[in-house]
Structure 1
């Protein structure tokens, strides 16, 4: 009886351990190629662009996240590596980070994929009040600029981030996804979390999801 009891308890513990263990997160998430067209044209997207006031908990699919990232700052001319968003002197200084309920990832435009940076839900660093399922962070690396002083480099980087931000807004409007661009966030906390240096500056972030 004692052996049977021991085996039963061991089996129960093993079952509980497997049931509660978190699945390992993918180190890299590869996206499908972006669509060549949407049902909504550019003028409709501009007409429909607005800042969402609140979000449901509906999940944004990886397919849509990939499309948003490509529209934001993906490579649209593979032969030259040029992007959907122009940048000063083509320095391509804006990097995109994606925050979900499970982890933070960095977008790799060349591979059209995102790579795991850190596990865990860190959306609170954006003073999150709307429970947004996805947040896209725009980081400018001003070390890529070799002209001007620190202030002018930061201003140039901010303008480049603004262009990327508008790409996100227009794509989301066309794809019937809701977004809101924000400047509020814990910049120091984000730099520490992501391992950024002082030249890599969080500029803007986009809450992305589906409006209530």
Structure 2
């Protein structure tokens, strides 16, 4: 399959010059934990973070983050919080934490336990990823993508674009949620150990790891 440049897909998502610290967004959170910042302020606070505090992400906040990434916002049509190439729902989100690995179920808005093994040290050899309290793993299913693509499924470049763009759009929503809630994150492509992740998650031949994305409280 043709290798797609991360820079090519992420260049368009770069936000305006940052003028407000992430702490500003954190202080703006309401008592129940929902951020009250504007979209513009979230964009101003959007940045990549590679240093995380040793603090777990509350389950409720993690589920809201996953909903922002790929949640259902129109139940009558299974509409999602993100657009997708050919409207394909080809990307599954896995979350690696100290207590194990879960797979996000958008319809039920729950994190289903897949393993009780801590796989953060498997996904990458970068120490800041291993230390992050949660690492999102984006997995594209080629069969689902091909079904949505129709005749374009024969075009390897089109399929690669679909797999990576659909993942990257979800990741941008994670960036904005993180900026609004005082969290830090960074999208990783090159240093992800895709073969090790696929083996650890028992992925099928049609499943491909596109990106990983550590998330946590920045320090």
Task: Name the TM-score class by shorter chain.
Answer: 0.7 to 0.9
SS at structure 1 position matched to 2:162: helix
CA distance in 2, matches of 1:121, 1:46: 32
Per-residue Cα deviation, 1:135-190 (whole angstroms, up to 9, x for no partner): 01111112112333234212211111110110100111011111111112111111
Equivalent residues of 1:55, 1:210 under 8 A apart: yes
CA distance in 1, matches of 2:153, 2:107: 28
2:140 alignment counterpart: 140
User: Which of 194, 207, 211 lines up with 2:201 in the alignment?
Assistant: 194
Deviates more, 1:100-109 or 1:125-134: 125-134
CA distance in 1, matches of 2:142, 2:196: 19
Q: Which runs of 5+ in 2 are unaligned?
A: 1-31
User: Which of 154, 161, 170 lines up with 1:155 in the alignment?
Assistant: 161
TM-score by length of 2: 0.77
CA distance in 1, matches of 2:49, 2:161: 27
CA distance in 2, matches of 1:38, 1:79: 27
1:124 to partner: Cα distance: 1.0
Q: Which runs of 4+ in 1 moved over 6 A?
A: none
CA RMSD of aligned residues (A): 1.6
SS at structure 2 position matched to 1:204: strand
- Structure 2 residue 119 is the aligned partner of structure 1 residue 122: yes
CA distance in 1, matches of 2:104, 2:168: 17
1:89 to partner: Cα distance: 2.0
TM-score by length of 1: 0.80
Equivalent residues of 1:142, 1:154 under 8 A apart: no
- Structure 2 residue 116 is the aligned partner of structure 1 residue 110: no
CA distance in 1, matches of 2:71, 2:50: 27
SS at structure 1 position matched to 2:186: strand
- Aligned length in residues: 178
- Structure 2 residue 97 is the aligned partner of structure 1 residue 90: no
Q: Which runs of 5+ in 1 are unaligned?
A: 1-34
Per-residue Cα deviation, 1:44-69 (whole angstroms, up to 9, x for no partner): 00000011131110111101110110
CA distance in 2, matches of 1:158, 1:85: 14
